[in-house]
A and B are shown apart, each in its own frame.
Chain A
């Protein structure tokens, strides 16, 4: 995600409160979560998240709730290309909202193994449940993590650090 957080602010006051809630509770009632509850979640400064399997072999990518709020109504999602091998920071797709096409970047080096076709039908899912990696959620891609990708993880933030990061961004 490009840094929409700081540049496309439609309404600011309410956005920060969202981050006082731990991200893992975005959809607390969903019974069949696609990843286990102790899945490892990391965030980028560009507001993407990645959920990793316990063995760090696979993951799910999406954009953060903070980013989704700042973007406004998402009207189209350019989904990543399946099978594509990418490096950390490579643009893998984009979301369009309010006349803006904003890149989505790969949080780590990985191979795209699946895309969320629901977003083709209902792009607004990104606004409703951006951090939900289950069926019906606003996740963007499923990936296979490469060796390089495991190293890239070190540069990412855990949910706590990301919450502090976005809170600081909002204070400027």
Chain B
């Protein structure tokens, strides 16, 4: 049907207003729920790093369970790039992350900032028998988009106790295996990020299979670029935490 311009403009204005109102209403009504979901999702990703070592089945955990573990067994800390611990108030004065808490640090946003002004989140998981795990967050680039992960270190700050990875858009069956295939993150367990002389080595993902049993893991066939991304992310991301490790070791 052909209409005059006034009718067209009025029609479009009314339609868009109705649509905008509806979507705003839904978004506001569910905001709290969506934020809780997101927070629980992040908490699960962090717990996944220690899951194999402490025997958690994170995927089968209910929301309540995740929250209670996080409240009772996890300490959150935020450091600056010099390895100095910041209080929540100090964090809030630098960047407005909810409550100044480590779990709300947006790693994607941090990655875009200059290296010397980034904030580093750390989660200390208190396991059975006073065993402590130090979980750190790293972020890098895969083949198509960003990849990130949480690495759990034992209290010698050298041995990896576990790792969990995620990605934005890697290919299912190839690069996405860093998350989908439980064998890949599990292969990081027991690897050392320092050599015997005490020099930082990180852990490399080796195409064709690991040669150095202490500092390398097997690559994924068909996902060399993603695997190289993981190596680079680990080498750079863990190095940021070195001042913190050094201070903790000397204590």
A and B co-occur in one complex:
no
Which A residues fall within an 8 A CB radius of B? none
